[in-house]
Amino acid sequence: MNGREAGESLTETMIHPTAVIDPTAHIGKDVEIGAYCVIGAEVSIGDGSQLRAHVVIEPYVTVGAGCEIFSGAVLGGIPQDRKFKGEKSFLIIGDNNVIREHVTIHRAAGAGNETRIGDGNQIMAYCHIGHNCMIGSGITMANMVGIAGHVEVEDRVVLGGIVGIHQFVRIGKLAMIGGYSKVVQDIPPFMMADGRPCKILDLNVIGLRRSGVSAHTRADLKQAYKTLYRSSMNMSQALETIETDIDESPERDYLLSFIRNIRFGSNGRQNDAARS
């Protein structure tokens, strides 16, 4: 069964005869589904997406348009969470993502909750994204990145190979993390970080330039980085100095807001609720 809705055109979509597709699945136009793929209940696959051989898409997954999903990927598996009791939850994947061989992405824990992936991401082989994660757009994940549950990765982040990210961590936009790093606390936006445990090393100047951030703002962010991580000030003093001495900009204000929010979480993770 191909799971197409009644009246949908059959002329463009190509489905290998060995594929197994639940009758409740919706398959868009110009989709290619390779040999031995398995598509579960209430799955939606957007127009122009391609599934190579042996892709498994579990129930309650939405895949956007123009995605490429390579052999061995398993999308929407049940979460590795002891609290999960079989409730209906979701995985939502945006448009134009490249998901390479043997990537695993789990749906959420908690009834009605979702794991969400944005648009235009490059997720390389053997990466894992856990339950309830919020992954932005334009992100590059090198091979074997492991992301635990409830992690937020914002737009245009670059993660090197074999990076491990603790649950509830938030990684700000345009951050860059070196390979084999152990990330147990939030990484502020625009920063370069590396190490076990991961530490802030510099400003991601190249990423800011490629994203069209002006030279003046890049210079201001460089000064903010030095104030935060290379001065003798404590964090409260550094934040006050940045707000007073550095020109206002969306990037400056976002950096300040991000860092201030960390104090409301646990162990340097703002998504992890503070515990008594």
pLDDT tens digits along 116-143: 999 999 999 999 999 999 999 999 999 9
| Higher-pLDDT residue of 7, 196 | 196
What is the pLDDT at residue 217? 98
Residue 1 has pLDDT above 80, yes or no: no
87 SS3 class: coil
What is the pLDDT at residue 276? 63
The DSSP result for 109-150, as a single string, is SSTT-EEEE-SS-EE-TT-EE-TT-EE-SS-EE-TT-EE-TT
Mean pLDDT of 75-79: 98
Residue 115 has pLDDT above 80, yes or no: yes
Residue 204 has pLDDT above 90, yes or no: yes
Radius of gyration of the chain (CA): 21
Average pLDDT, the chain: 95
Residue 10 has pLDDT above 80, yes or no: no
pTM for the model stands at 0.94
With CA atoms as reference, report the closest residue to 31 among 6, 2, 60. Answer: 2
Dihedral (Cα; 248, 250, 253, 256), 10-degree rounding? -130
| Higher-pLDDT residue of 274, 141 | 141
Q: Is the peptide bond before 197 cis (omega within 30 degrees of 0)?
A: yes
What is the pLDDT at residue 148? 98
- Residue 274: pLDDT band by 50, 70, 90 thresholds? confident
pLDDT tens digits along 232-253: 999 999 999 999 999 999 999 9
Is the CB of residue 150 less than 8 Å from the CB of residue 134? no
With CA atoms as reference, report the closest residue to 183 among 198, 170, 194. Answer: 198
Mean pLDDT of 3-20: 69
What is the pLDDT at residue 8? 47
pLDDT tens digits along 19-57: 999 999 999 999 999 999 999 999 999 999 999 999 999
Mean pLDDT of 201-215: 97
DSSP secondary structure letter of residue 82:
T
- Residue 4: pLDDT band by 50, 70, 90 thresholds? very low
Q: Which CATH number fits domain 14-204: 2.30.40.10, 3.50.50.60, 2.160.10.10, 3.40.50.300?
A: 2.160.10.10
Q: Which two tokens stand for residue 227?
A: 């104030």
- Residue 275: pLDDT band by 50, 70, 90 thresholds? confident
